[in-house]
Structure formats: structure tokens, C-alpha cells
Amino acid sequence: MVIYAYLTFPDLLLDAQGISHHDECIAIHHQGQIMQCSEKSILAGVMPGMTLSMALTLCPKLLAQTYQPDAERRLLHRLALWAYQYSHQVAIWKKGLCIEVSKSKFLFGDLSALTQTLKQASVSHHFRIHLAFGYSPEMAALFVKEGLRPKEHAFEKTVSRLSIDVADIPAEQIKRLKNMGFRTIGDYFSAPSRARQARIHQNTFLYFNAVAGRHQTPLTWFTPPPVFHQSLEFLRGLESVDMLRFPIHRLTQDASHWLKQRLCTTSHMRWEITLEDQQIEHLHIVLNSPVNAASALADPTWIRLEQLQPRSPMTGICLHIQQVHQSSPPKQDLFVKAHDTDRDQLIDRLTARLGSECIKTPCRQQDPRPEYANQLNTRATVYPLPHLPPRPIWLLHPPEALGASPENAGHRLLQGPERIESGWWDFEPTCRRYWIGLFQQRRISWIYQDQHSKSWWLAGWFS
Amino acid sequence: MKTNILRPLFDAGKLWQGSTKTAIEVTDTGFPELNQHFSGHGWPAHMLIEILTDDLLSAPMQCAFATWTKQQDARWIALANPPLSPCTERFMQEGIDPQKVDVLNVPDDQLAWCLEQLANTQSMRSLIAWENEPFTSTQLRRLQLACQRGHTQLFLVRSLKHQIQASPAPVRVTMQSLSNGFEITVFKQPGTNARPPLVIPSELHWITKAHPTRRKTSILQETAGLH
């Protein structure tokens, strides 16, 4: 039979605010009523269901936040994305997650091993979960509500022992069932099916069938979004860029999960930092090569952000990834070296801090003129080297004028000349004779005489 | 007893005594006489090497070229803040693949950070950097640790005036250019004491002997045009 896991998040509304609520008295309210409150505020006497004015009377320093359905929805999507790594069938259902785990239990072991895996993962992601398994989402939800987690062989027996009061149906329906003499769910199913169907509201009938695993509720399965767009809001404006370290870590972790689940990589990230004065700082980061590791996404971001000087406190940060590339999983090849990948990350870090022009590669173009043939570019283009006389270690750009005679400038001609006549096609014709010279009895120079002007120039140094 | 406890550090080349053979990895200097001046018979492969000289152009780059051509692998080499533009064709003539060479030009106040990033990376084999603003002792120590972590060799060209100052660099040499080559003095290195100066002669044989490409036209022009 199909087995479902149902996960609820006791701190869902608090977590959706994107703030640490463990050491603060915080409550979420809607229409004057407390919906959820932090542990510290519970110690101060605040309870869910209480009016806001009562809560503020009990705890004057209570930080009351308005319920934000959008933030709650965004967090549920984020959690669904997290759960997607355990099963390809995840649904957002009744402010929780419903996961089809029939096949996952073979991957992770039995249901208790899967429970441990989910619990440990939730702890590492800093959110609390309650979970249970059942033959249907309704059965699992009832177990979560009652704090039960029976083994697979005891699902039906445990359900039949549950009181009819715990059913997730309207109160008048429960009253009606009780008046019929049903005290437990087992009592309900002991009655003939035809009699129940005739006397009970259809929705209630279908609900109990779903609880017993005899009726499948249609679920809308979650699919990872085609673009990554996730944001975090801060309760209090952050004044220092250093304080963004944790939010960036969290967003890049989620982006990395999203990319890995889609077997994708990216080389473009767009960050938006919202300031208190409603201005938005845009940061567009282009990576040297597509990546999907969290550290490879976070490092260049952090280096670029260190240079940012926000004009006012920051109230939110958003990461947007649109351009992705398909990637294949890394091959476990004995001969693949670790340094093949760390070079890309090195270039990303250097260019993020120093700009894309800071690192160049010597290139050789197909041009006889040395200043055109030897260039530094961001992309390496190296044409084969023809048989040339020795070239110097260093080149001077532009060449240094020596006047009418090299001897007067301290250069004694040793070997040459090498005649270079070229450039007629681009209107920069060159007609030179290159010589190797000795400068002040110590250093070997590379000089040339321009055949048009007859002047001498220092082009480079051998040593 | 104490020596036994410290043995792993000795074996790893992280600790050494004044006159013991070290087991550190080295690269051939390219000059047989200079190899004899090092306890490991070559430049330490994963260490910060200070080159103290007033000749920024010639001797340091000759040393770097000589060792780079002797030992090549798939990793990269780099030049940070070189005083002039390096010639690609010379790299190719020396047998060094230019596609495996990085040339960096960074602001002086970013050079230490940049070198640390480079030295920390396993894809980098060896790099040479020219210091304009003097590094602090902490920065030098961080560079040495980065070299050990990333298994990178870093030649740091510094002004000769730093010779009298203490430095955390495990290898320190001075270089002075002479009319017939350059003089190198290894005054600090792992495993042994300072060594007397050594003169590395200039290899000018390729200048004195006629080059194969020397054509008749060259000789004709030499006689006709210049004299």
C-alpha cells in the first residue's frame, strides 16, 4: 500500500518572519488574535488564541507581528523544495507537507530510519517538525495531531482506537456521530457501510474513508520552480554588511539544493538588497564557470558585498537565479584532480573582488609585429610559434625612445639584425630592424631601429 | 623522547633543526651549483621564498624561469604585479604553455589578499610576485601557511632593504646582478645554515654563436645599413 508522511511545522509562522525567535518574546497575530508565539512569550503567559491586548498586558515587551500569508506560503514552498530531496512526490497540504514515502523507505531504510533522517535534516536547517506516517494523508495527519507514530503494521489498529472527537470534521458532525453511538473511529467502521453512507454527510463519509486509507484525496504535487527567487526580510534593519553573512549562507544553501535537484548549474546570480528607505541595491554576479555548490555561490557574493556601503539599514535580501545550464553528475574518475574545480572558484573570488580585468593570460596572435603578437587577454588564444630568434622576457609597452644612436643611450649591439616588415593591411606599417644589445655591460636589451624615421627604440629586456 | 614527539612535524617539513636533512619536497633550481646550496637540493616546493634584490627585472625572473622549465605539470603558474609586460613568445620558447600562466595586476593594498588566494589554491604550482608596499610580518606568515595548505611555491621579490628585518619566510635569498651574471646568497633555509654567495654566470652562448635563422639579408643589411 502507498504510505504517506505528513509533516507539520510548529514554528511555521514565526519562521516565516525570517527572524530568530528563540531568545525573544514574539507573537504572530491576525485580526486581534494570537496565532503563534515564541517559547519565551509562552513562559510569560502568552498563549495562541488569546487576544492581542491580553497578550500585551501579560507581556509588555512582546513583539507583535502581523500574520503574513505570503511569507507563510513562501516558507512552505522552501520547505517543499527541501523535502523534494527525499521523494519526488511532495505536496503542500493543510499548512504542512505531505510526502509519498513508499519508495523512499527502501532508499533510506525502514520508516524509523526515514524519521531519523528527516529529524536530523530539520535540526541542521534550524526548524522543528512533527511527523507521522499513514496509508493516507488524513490518517498521517490524525497521528500527528495525536502525537502518535505507530509502525506500519499497526496503522489500522491505532486508527480504530482513536476517539471520534479527533476527526477533522465540523463539530456538529462529530456531535451527530456521537449521538448515533460512535465513540471511536473503530465503532464507526463496525457499522454497515450502506447504513453509514445513507445517514452521514457525504464529505464526512469520504473523510473517514480517507482516514482508513480506502479513499485517495487528490493532491497537487509540488514541482521545483523553473527559476529560483527567494527572499528574506529582516525584522530590524541591518546596519552592517557583516550581518548579511547568515542570510547569504541560507539563501545560497537553498539555491544549491534547487540547482542540484534540477541537475543544473548556474553562472549568473542577481541579488537585491532592500534598504530602509525603499531603495534597492542590485548586485549582478557572473561566475567564471557554471556551479551548483553553495560555497561556490556564496564566496564571490560575499567578496562583492564586502565592498558595498549601504546608505541606510538593510531590511531584506533576495536572490534570483534565472539562467541555468544542464549539468551531469561528477564522474568518480580516479584521474580527475581536485585542482580542476578549485581554479574556477579562485577566478570567481579574484574577479569578484578585483574586477574581471585583474587576471589575464599571455596570448600569441598571428602577427609578426611583437607588440601585436604578444598580448595579455582575459581569454587565452595561442597560435603556434613559428621558428623565431630568441625573444626577451619583458616587453615595453610602449617602447622607450633611445634617440638617433643606441650607443649614446648605453646599448652596444651584440647580435642582429632581425628584420620585421609588416602591418601594411591595417595602416600601421612597420619596418624595423631588431638587435640584441648589451646595456651598461650588465643587462641584455632588445632594441630596434625604425627604418622610416631611423630612430632607435628599446623594445624589451632579456635579463 | 622529545624528538620522537616532534618527528611528524620534522617529517612533514614543518619543523627543522639547524643541520639536519629535511624531507621537504623541492623543485630543481635549474642551476646545478645552486642546487648544492640548498639542503634539499632545490627550491622548497611549498614554501614562501623571499628574494631580496634591487634588480627587479632580471635575476628573479631568470630563477623562476629556470625552475618552471625544469618541472612542469597540469597546474598553473602566475606572475603578480610584474614590473613589465611578460613576452608570450619567450614563454613558448622556454617550453612553458602560456595558457597555464596567469598575469595579475592588482592594487598594492590588495596584493597580500590576492597572493593568499592564489597560494591557497591547489591548481597553482608556483607564482612570483613583486612587492611594492612592504608586507607586514602577519601577512608574510599567512602567505607561508597558504603555501603549505595549497602546496604552492611563492617567490616574493622584495627590496634589499628588508634583509636586516626578521621574516617568517622559511627561505630568504639575496640577489645582485653582476656584469657576468648574478650573485645569489641563501642566508636562511630549512635544515642548514647560511651559505656563502654563489655567482650564476649569464648564459650568453646563444648570442655569441650565429643563430640558425641568421640570413644573408641580415648580414648584408648589417654591412650596408649600419656601418
CATH number among 3.40.50.200, 3.40.50.300, 3.40.50.1820, 3.40.50.1380, domain B17-226: 3.40.50.300
What per-residue confidence (pLDDT) applies to A356? 83
- Contact at CB, B91 and A337, closer than 8 angstroms: no
Residues A393 and A341 in one domain: no
Q: Please check whether residue A217 lies inside any domain of the structure.
A: no
Residues A166 and A283 in one domain: no
Question: In this predicted model, what pLDDT tens digit does every residue of B177-189 receive, in sequence order?
Answer: 888 888 999 999 8
Residues A79 and A193 in one domain: yes
- Contact at CB, B121 and A346, closer than 8 angstroms: yes
DSSP A81-112: HHHTTT-S-EEEETTEEEEE-TTHHHHH-SHH
What per-residue confidence (pLDDT) applies to B68? 92
Q: How confident is the model at residue B46 (pLDDT cuts 50, 70, 90)?
A: very high
In chain A, residues 376-435 whose CB comes closer than 8 Å to chain B:
376, 380, 382, 385, 387-397, 413-419, 433
CATH of the domain at A339: 3.30.1490.100
Q: Does A130 touch chain B (CB under 8 A)?
A: no
Copy the grid coordinates of residue A237: 534593519
Residues A262 and A350 in one domain: yes
Q: Please check whether residue A206 lies inside any domain of the structure.
A: yes
Taking phi first (over 0 means left), then psi (-120 to 50 degrees means alpha), and beta for anything else, what does residue B223 get? alpha
Is A361:B186 a contact under the CB 8 Å cutoff?
Answer: no
Q: Please check whether residue A263 lies inside any domain of the structure.
A: yes
Distance separating alpha carbons of residues A157 and A186, to the nearest angstrom: 8
Residues A301 and A185 in one domain: no
B208 has pLDDT over 70: no
Is B112:B143 a contact under the CB 8 Å cutoff?
Answer: yes
C-alpha angle A189-A193-A195 in degrees, rounded to nearest 5: 110
What per-residue confidence (pLDDT) applies to B227? 36
Distance separating alpha carbons of residues A421 and A318, to the nearest angstrom: 58
Question: In this predicted model, what pLDDT tens digit does every residue of B87-99 receive, in sequence order?
Answer: 999 999 888 999 9
- For the whole model, what pTM was predicted? 0.69
- Nearest chain B Cα to A414, which residue? B207
Q: Please check whether residue A59 lies inside any domain of the structure.
A: no
Q: What is the largest CA-CA distance in chain A?
A: 120
Copy the grid coordinates of residue B65: 624561469
Distance separating alpha carbons of residues A318 and A178, to the nearest angstrom: 52
Domain boundaries along the sequence of chain B:
17-226
Full residue range of the structural domain in which residue A401 is found: 385-461
CA-based nearest residue to B165, from B50, B54, B81: B50
Half-sphere exposure of residue A349: CA atoms within 13 angstroms, side-chain side: 18
What per-residue confidence (pLDDT) applies to B216? 43
Minimum distance, in Å, between the CA of residue A388 and any CA atom of chain B: 8
C-alpha angle B208-B212-B213 in degrees, rounded to nearest 5: 110
Q: Please check whether residue A73 lies inside any domain of the structure.
A: yes
Copy the grid coordinates of residue B62: 631568470
* More confident: B14 or A246: A246
Residues A192 and A314 in one domain: no
Residues A334 and A393 in one domain: no
Which of A228-245 are b and which e, b meaning 16 or more Cβ less than 10 Å from the residue's Cβ? bebbbbbeebbeebeebe
Residues A199 and A248 in one domain: no
Q: Alpha helix (H) ranges present in chain B?
A: 2-11, 32-36, 59-70, 88-93, 111-120, 137-150, 205-208, 216-221
Mean per-residue pLDDT over chain B, rounded: 85
Q: Please check whether residue A243 lies inside any domain of the structure.
A: yes
CA-based nearest residue to B29, from B137, B222, B184: B184
Chain A residues close to B122, C-beta within 8 Å: 337-339, 342
Copy the grid coordinates of residue A168: 477533522
Distance separating alpha carbons of residues B183 and B199, to the nearest angstrom: 4
- Contact at CB, B84 and A389, closer than 8 angstroms: no
Which residues, including other chains, have CB under 8 Å from residue A54's CB and lie 6 or more apart?
none
What per-residue confidence (pLDDT) applies to A82? 86
Residues A279 and A139 in one domain: no
CATH of the domain at A148: 3.30.70
Count of the separate structural domains present in chain A: 3
Q: Tell me which residues of chain A have a pLDDT lower than 50.
A: none
